[in-house]
Amino acid sequence: GATGYRIEHRGHSVCYVTDTEHVIGKPDENILALIEGADLVIYDSTYTDKEFESKIGWGHSTWQEGIRLCKAANVKSLAIFHHDPDHEDRFLNQLEAEAKTVWSAAFLARENARLNIA
């Protein structure tokens, strides 16, 4: 299971989806419904797709699945968060660059970052 929140205010929305584990090849319909049309989704992206297969059962997802869900749900942007503590800054910077080549609206969540949702 997962915990997800959708906050709506003055026609804008932010969704926070944490500690979710997806099923490979099967988008989570509950998450899709929650995030539909959101301005920003903050999504559990602990692993890469490559790492995920050896982490099934650990209760986390991937940045690639986050992008797939956001694109399918017409989301405006994705904050990739809940990083694996074993991923060093250099790895995360490379991950963000790769994510941006897949979907330019994806970015890495960073401590103390402030975002304007408008």
Residue 62 counted as domain residue: yes
Residue 18 counted as domain residue: yes
Residue 113 counted as domain residue: no
In the structure, what pLDDT confidence band is assigned to residue 51 with cuts at 50, 70 and 90?
very high
The pLDDT, as a whole number, for residue 3 is 83
Q: CATH number of the domain that 75 lies in?
A: 3.60.15.10
pLDDT digits (tens, 9 = 90+) for 63-93: 999 999 999 999 999 999 999 999 999 999 9
Q: Which domain holds residue 70?
A: 3-108
Residue 117 counted as domain residue: no
Residue 16 counted as domain residue: yes
Residue 20 counted as domain residue: yes
pTM: 0.94
Q: Structural domain tally of the chain? A: 1
The string of DSSP letters for the chain reads --EEEEEEETTEEEEEEES--PBTTB--HHHHHHHTT-SEEEEE--B-HHHHGGGTTSS--BHHHHHHHHHHTT-SEEEEES--TT--HHHHHHHHHHHHHH-TTEEE--TT------
Residue 35 counted as domain residue: yes
The pLDDT, as a whole number, for residue 1 is 62
The pLDDT, as a whole number, for residue 118 is 76
pLDDT digits (tens, 9 = 90+) for 2-50: 789 999 999 999 999 999 999 999 999 999 999 999 999 999 999 999 9
